[in-house]
Chains A and B, each alone.
Chain A
Amino acid sequence: MPYAIEMEDVSRHFGSVKAVSDMTMQVPAGLTFGLIGPNGSGKTTLIRMVAGLISPTRGRLRVLGRHPGERTVAIRTGYMPQADALYRDLPVRENLNFFATLYGVPRAARKARIEEVLALVEMLEYANRPVETLSGGMKQRVPLACALVHSPELVLLDEPTVGVDPELRRTFWNYFRTLASQGVTVVVSTHHLDEAGRCDQLALMRGGRLLAMDTPAALLQRSGQPDLESAFLHFAGVTNHA
């Protein structure tokens, strides 16, 4: 499948607020794709539309070749919202087991798969601790494990590295690259421009609009800027004058 996500003139309005306006882009399958933009640029709204949580006000959106929110799409998608979205009174393993059950991971494979994702996020030794007793850094690995427990083809991660220390952030990005190398499409939203360079492709967003979409190297080249931060400002400025 060439594209994991296809959108054509997609807009989403909340009353008079235009959260996303006329976005047209294609996300190729099997790479890490960064949604880059400041707070309020429409990243979360876009991810929630792709996750099938809200429908576009206008436009055509296809996820894994189908209508988002369809059950078959939901099963093949992993979603990690901005909030922890965990059952804090339950142990880590119970949380994973719940989501594995929710996504229909077969009983026989469940246990092994849970151990696998626990190992991936380096949480094996804390697996039986209730989530609420975990420290902040440890707690943040759990939603990622929950989003991956059913081996999805498409992973939507809404700001997975907010408040994550630099060491763990590096570990996370290594996971994302590993996943992409296995053919998984990893969509990551972030407002950290320093980590955007690790993505295969980037979509720069501002005010609900797509400023530019390309590989990090191509964005630097097109803008003639030395770093992505300057490149972002360059594209934002160009749009403002246009």
Chain B
Amino acid sequence: MPDGSVPAFSKQTGIGASVGRIAGLSRRIIRQLAADHRTLGFVIAAPALIMTLLYFLTNITPAPPVVAVQAAAAKDLPAAAAWQAEVITALQKTGRVEASKLSPAYAEEPAKAVTDGQAYAVLILPSPSPTGSQPVQVVVDGSDPTANQTVLAALSQAMAAGQPAHPPVSVAVQYIHAAGFKLMDFFAPVFIPFFVFFFTFLLTVVSFLRERTGGTMERLFASPIGAAEIILGYLGGFLVFALIESLIVLFFTIYVLKIHYQGSLASIFVVEVFLTVLGVNLGIFLSTYAKNELQAVQFIPVVIIPQALLAETFWKVSDMSWLLRGLADAMPLTYSNLALKDIMLRGKSLGDVAMYLVALGAYTLLTVGLSAVAVRRAR
């Protein structure tokens, strides 16, 4: 260009044009988000909600484990009773446990106080002997790793404080529910239902949404298929998926992470089936309240995370304040977690956890009803 005139296409190239395109795109995205009031509200409200929950949850202190102290054999009555009182005082002084005398009802069978849930651990003091070789027997429930540590720490602290009047004692610990549960073992029973519930829920929400937005839902309604059949069809598909999913999680936790578990696989699957039906139907119901995938994903912090935090997952519902406890009691996952903990950690049967299953079943029926209404309304 000898005359130095600028070619018309120069505006299409170079940094300025690039910045312009980027800014244009950014603007468009901001506009789209701004027009979506719900997404906007979500961006503000969801973090606030979760942080509020965490604030309350981190303030929870677990109730001190109850330790019952059984005196030595009756023939040494005065001395034994004095020692029992001393040990209780020493344990109380640690401030870590709730120490008391073992109820006479359990005198014959001290371990039964633990299985009945009267105490987390029972200390059985031996008859004082000149050699001092007899150990203090400790029977620990063992299913709660935090409580295990607390009890043993309190015990050694109390022993270290010393009762010089008595010969030094060794301690023999016996766990009722399998020795040495790790923290991970404790969480395994809640991982399995969580994943099953989370994925069936999320996948249902999104696939149902796609069905609606992609026009195939309308196509279904024009076909001979009915609302109930649609729900059942979805259930059938996701049930297979959920069973495969729980198998994978279960085998992974048992064989790869080598997580300890008791109870039967069949019982675990029964709970999974409840959760799948719950997840699918809740997904169908809530998918009608999402216009697009972005809105569908917003159900995660609303439906999934509060249940992940509150439903007997990391913190025990029984330790919570009335407000959190009320919230937890209203969440279906609480009941599946309680049931699976009993089944997997304590080897209980479905009959033992029937109350939890009834609660879970009630929620499942509720969501079936809601999804039926939702499908009919989508029509």
A93, B217: Cα distance in complex, Å = 19
Contact call B214/A99, Cβ cutoff below 8 A:
no
Residues 195-229 of chain B: 1 if any A CB is under 8 Å from the residue's CB, otherwise 0?
00000000000000000001110111111111000
Report A-chain residues with C-beta under 8 Å of the C-beta of B215.
81-85
Contact call A79/B219, Cβ cutoff below 8 A:
yes
Q: Chain A contact residues (Cβ within 8 angstroms of B): what range?
A: 20 to 34
Contact call B216/A53, Cβ cutoff below 8 A:
no
Report B-chain residues with C-beta under 8 Å of the C-beta of A85.
214-216, 218-219
Closest to B220 in A: A102
Contact call B223/A99, Cβ cutoff below 8 A:
yes
Task: Say if the beta carbon of B379 comes within 8 Å of chain A.
Answer: yes
Closest to B217 in A: A85
User: What is the CB-to-nearest-CB distance from A170 to chain B, in angstroms, rounded to a whole number?
Assistant: 26
Task: Say if the beta carbon of A13 comes within 8 Å of chain B.
Answer: no
Report A-chain residues with C-beta under 8 Å of the C-beta of B220.
102
Contact call A53/B223, Cβ cutoff below 8 A:
no
Report B-chain residues with C-beta under 8 Å of the C-beta of A99.
219, 223
Contact call A102/B216, Cβ cutoff below 8 A:
no
User: What is the CB-to-nearest-CB distance from A87 to chain B, in angstroms, rounded to a whole number?
Assistant: 6
A85, B223: Cα distance in complex, Å = 13
Of listed B215, B221, B223, B226, residue having the most chain A CB within 10 A: B223
User: What is the CB-to-nearest-CB distance from B118 to chain A, in angstroms, rounded to a whole number?
Assistant: 57
Q: Which of B319-340 contact A (CB under 8 A)?
A: none
A74, B215: Cα distance in complex, Å = 17
A157, B221: Cα distance in complex, Å = 16
Contact call B214/A81, Cβ cutoff below 8 A:
no
User: What is the CB-to-nearest-CB distance from B357 to chain A, in angstroms, rounded to a whole number?
Assistant: 34
User: Which residue in A74, A86, A87 is a CB contact (below 8 Å) of B222?
Assistant: A74
A71, B224: Cα distance in complex, Å = 5
User: What is the CB-to-nearest-CB distance from B1 to chain A, in angstroms, rounded to a whole number?
Assistant: 42
Residues 215-233 of chain A: 1 if any B CB is under 8 Å from the residue's CB, otherwise 0?
0000000000000000000
Closest to B219 in A: A85
A88, B216: Cα distance in complex, Å = 10
User: Which residue in B216, B224, B379 is a CB contact (below 8 Å) of A104?
Assistant: B224
Closest to A88 in B: B214
Task: Say if the beta carbon of A161 comes within 8 Å of chain B.
Answer: no
Task: Say if the beta carbon of A77 comes within 8 Å of chain B.
Answer: yes
Closest to A54 in B: B379
A78, B142: Cα distance in complex, Å = 65
Report A-chain residues with C-beta under 8 Å of the C-beta of B221.
52-53
Report B-chain residues with C-beta under 8 Å of the C-beta of A84.
214-215
Closest to A70 in B: B224
User: What is the CB-to-nearest-CB distance from B223 to chain A, in angstroms, rounded to a whole number?
Assistant: 5
Closest to A76 in B: B224
Contact call A79/B224, Cβ cutoff below 8 A:
no
Closest to A79 in B: B222
A75, B223: Cα distance in complex, Å = 7
Contact call B214/A53, Cβ cutoff below 8 A:
no
A69, B281: Cα distance in complex, Å = 25
Task: Say if the beta carbon of A29 comes within 8 Å of chain B.
Answer: no
Contact call A77/B222, Cβ cutoff below 8 A:
yes
Report A-chain residues with C-beta under 8 Å of the C-beta of B216.
85-87
Contact call A103/B218, Cβ cutoff below 8 A:
no
A102, B220: Cα distance in complex, Å = 8
A79, B218: Cα distance in complex, Å = 10
Task: Say if the beta carbon of A51 comes within 8 Å of chain B.
Answer: yes
A84, B210: Cα distance in complex, Å = 13
User: What is the CB-to-nearest-CB distance from A200 to chain B, in angstroms, rounded to a whole number?
Assistant: 24
Of listed A81, A82, A85, A103, residue having the most chain B CB within 10 A: A85
10 contacts between A and B (CB under 8 A): A52-B221, A53-B221, A79-B223, A81-B218, A84-B214, A84-B215, A85-B214, A86-B216, A103-B224, A146-B219
Other than the given A79-B222, A84-B214, 8 more pairs (CB < 8 A) read A74-B222, A85-B214, A85-B215, A85-B216, A86-B216, A102-B223, A103-B223, A103-B224
